[in-house]
Structure 1
Amino acid sequence: MAEYKLTYFNLKGRGEICRLMFVLADKKYEDHRFEREEWKDLKPSMPLGQVPVMTVGKTQIPQTGAIIRYLAREFGLYGKSNMENTMVDVIIETIDEMRSEFVKWVKEEDETKKAEISKKLKEDVFPKFVTFVEKMLSDNGGQFLVGSEVTLADVAVFDVISRISDMWSQELMNMSTVLKAHCEKIATIPNIKAWLEKRPKTAR
């Protein structure tokens, strides 16, 4: 039996970054996926009534941020010093801020308002994010976002840019040749490359 169990919808969503951490570290886990119609029955057993949830032994861990930080510490993907840990956190928090703006576009049903949100994403939110991450990459020597090895920060940026590009527009990926190249580098890491080729095909 796998030591870890990840429970999430049969989607990429907020569960995919967790899966990528297992994949990168080459650690076995139970990828417990369920369909939306099953959620009503499953929800009462989840802490906070939400997913993803990772189970380690008898302990359930909710909240994506808590899960990925736990895995990063466990698998040596969180940097090698307190400062590197903190800079990984800076990237994660910045991604969360950007994603919260994108989710508004995903959920908006009024086409006029959706167009307004799209304009803000294109002209303000995404350029601000790209500029910040580009600078972090440059300041760190251009190979990785934090430290001298791949960390949670690199995987998280790859995950969010590639998924938003697929859902919204390739404009995000194409806003920066530097970040596009960085994402392509992460995508060619053998374990991640193999996962991207075989993972279940889902809408998002």
Structure 2
Amino acid sequence: MPAKFKISYFDIKGRAELPRLVCAAAGKEFDDERITGDKWTAFKPRLYGSNNMENTKCDIIIETVFDLYSAVIKQHLEKDEDIKEELAKKFSTEVLPQFFTYLCKLLKENGGKFLVGSKLTVADMAVFDMLDRLTCNPKMGEGVYKDFAEVKKFYESVKTNANIQKYLERRPASDL
């Protein structure tokens, strides 16, 4: 039986409307969980931070990861080999070190284990996903962390989370 999607969001259109429309257009059934009142209180602590400031920090980190994805995609889609090589060099020598420095700062400010708050958040998972892609990339691998031991330690910590580890063991192989 194919997996059925579940979209959990407030009882408004908001940011959930686009995924609802995409599922509808694709003919995919989904559970449209509209969260109100007391349900929100129970649902809120699952992935984001413990308060509005932590939630904002999660959003900033996620958007930063999206900026990194954009740089990777731009490089990947470039047809001119000279420009592609220039973009790759800039990514390795400027973009990644700047991103890793930012992560080290966040980890230090937050006690070293998580990027935001005292538990695993969606921000940690977004960064882990990017780091996992870099680590699994044959052109980068574990050497990508050579000057950033804190980032590697963070990556390994998230990777060994029991639920993440269980997912990774059954995740289909993919280059993208």
TM-score of the alignment, normalized to the shorter chain, above 0.5: yes
**1:66-77 to 2 correspondences below 5 Å:** 76-77=46-47
Residue aligned with 1:46, SS: helix
TM-score, structure 1 as length reference: 0.64
Report the counterpart of residue 46 of structure 1 in structure 2: 22
**1:1-150 to 2 correspondences below 5 Å:** 5=5, 46=22, 56-58=30-32, 76-150=46-120
**How far does residue 152 in structure 1 lie from its aligned partner after superposition?**
0.7
TM-score, structure 2 as length reference: 0.74
- C-alpha separation in 1, matches of 2:3 and 2:53: 30
- C-alpha separation in 1, matches of 2:111 and 2:32: 42
What stretches of structure 2 of length at least 5 have no aligned partner? 7-20, 34-42
Q: Which has the larger radius of gyration?
A: 2
State the superposition RMSD in angstroms. Answer: 2.9
The alignment covers a number of residue pairs equal to 150
- C-alpha separation in 2, matches of 1:152 and 1:143: 14
- C-alpha separation in 2, matches of 1:126 and 1:143: 20
Report the counterpart of residue 155 of structure 1 in structure 2: 125
Structure 1 pair 106–125 and aligned structure 2 pair: CA distance change class (3 A): same
* Stretches (4+) displaced over 4 A: 1-4
Residue aligned with 2:65, SS: helix
Report the counterpart of residue 153 of structure 2 in structure 1: 181
Q: Does the aligned pair in 2 maintain the 1:78–1:88 contact within 8 Å?
A: yes
**How far does residue 107 in structure 1 lie from its aligned partner after superposition?**
1.2
Residue aligned with 2:172, SS: coil
What stretches of structure 1 of length at least 5 have no aligned partner? 7-44, 60-72
Structure 1 pair 114–76 and aligned structure 2 pair: CA distance change class (3 A): same
- C-alpha separation in 1, matches of 2:147 and 2:69: 17
Structure 1 pair 155–58 and aligned structure 2 pair: CA distance change class (3 A): closer
